[in-house]
């Protein structure tokens, strides 16, 4: 059976509305040709994000500066020569939307990983607000490096804790040991610096 994009739109609209992530105004009218649905109206309970969408895009753009790491298996990483914990690299993050509950963003970058290889990462994340300065969530990241998974790219959920320092954000990630994908559990740290405040 071939799926039409028109059948996915109402599902995505309802899902975004239920999680409080809708960027739509208070009532939505949508026509879906050939989907058996002519019009639907959905009340959204979240604050309108028109101001966020109209803002200068540079206000939503961050420079990600990698980073340091700490591996829990100190002997294992030394024996396997995976003990590089100065993981220099750069990336970009872009905030897709934000509201009182949290924010979603996309990230892409590269860094010198624990095996002294260049790791490339890209993905989508969501974080819940925990007070004014803390956020907790995870990213679904695509990762490729000769250090991980025998050099084959893979996708993994990566927990992320963020503290807003004002001029920059401090991010802590955790990648657990998991089969051949990641042989050693590791904590990582990097900073996100906004282009505009």
pLDDT, one tens digit per residue, over 80-127 is 889 999 999 999 999 998 999 999 999 999 999 999 999 999 999 999
pLDDT higher at 58 or 36: 58
pLDDT digits (tens, 9 = 90+) for 27-48: 334 344 444 444 444 444 444 4
- Ranges of each domain in the chain: 5-48, 53-194
Mean pLDDT of the region 157-172: 96
Q: What is the 3-state secondary structure (H, E, C) of the chain?
A: CCCCHHHHHHHHHHHHHHCCCCCCCCCCCEEECCCCEEEECCCCCCCCCHHHHHCCHHHHEEEEEEEEEEECCHHHHHHCCCCCCEEEEEEEEEEEEECCCEEEEEEEEEEECCCCCEEEEEEEEEEEEECCCEEEEEEEEEEECCCCHHHCCEEEEEEEEEEECCCCEEEEEEECCECCCECCCEEEEEEEEECCC
Quote the mean pLDDT of the chain.
80
Q: Domain 53-194's class?
A: mainly beta
- Return the pLDDT at 193: 96
């Amino acid at each position: 059976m071939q799926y039409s994009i028109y059948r996915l739109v109402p599902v995505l609209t309802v899902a975004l509305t239920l999680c409080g992530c809708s960027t739509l105004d208070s009532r939505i009218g949508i026509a879906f040709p050939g989907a058996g649905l002519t019009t639907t109206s959905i009340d959204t309970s979240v604050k309108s994000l028109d101001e966020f969408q109209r803002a200068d895009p540079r206000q939503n753009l961050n420079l990600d500066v990698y980073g340091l790491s700490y591996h829990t298996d100190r002997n294992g990483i030394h024996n396997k020569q995976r003990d590089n914990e100065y993981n220099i690299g750069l990336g970009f993050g872009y905030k897709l939307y934000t509201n009182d509950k949290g924010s979603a963003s996309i990230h892409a970058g590269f860094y010198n990983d624990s095996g002294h290889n260049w790791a490339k990462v890209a993905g989508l994340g969501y974080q819940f607000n925990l007070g004014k300065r803390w956020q907790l969530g995870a990213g679904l990241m695509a990762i490729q490096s000769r250090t991980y998974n025998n050099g084959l790219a893979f996708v993994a959920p990566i927990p992320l804790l963020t503290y807003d320092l004002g001029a920059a954000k401090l991010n802590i990630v955790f990648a657990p040991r998991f089969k051949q994908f990641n042989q050693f559990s590791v904590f990582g740290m990097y900073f996100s610096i906004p282009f505009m405040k």
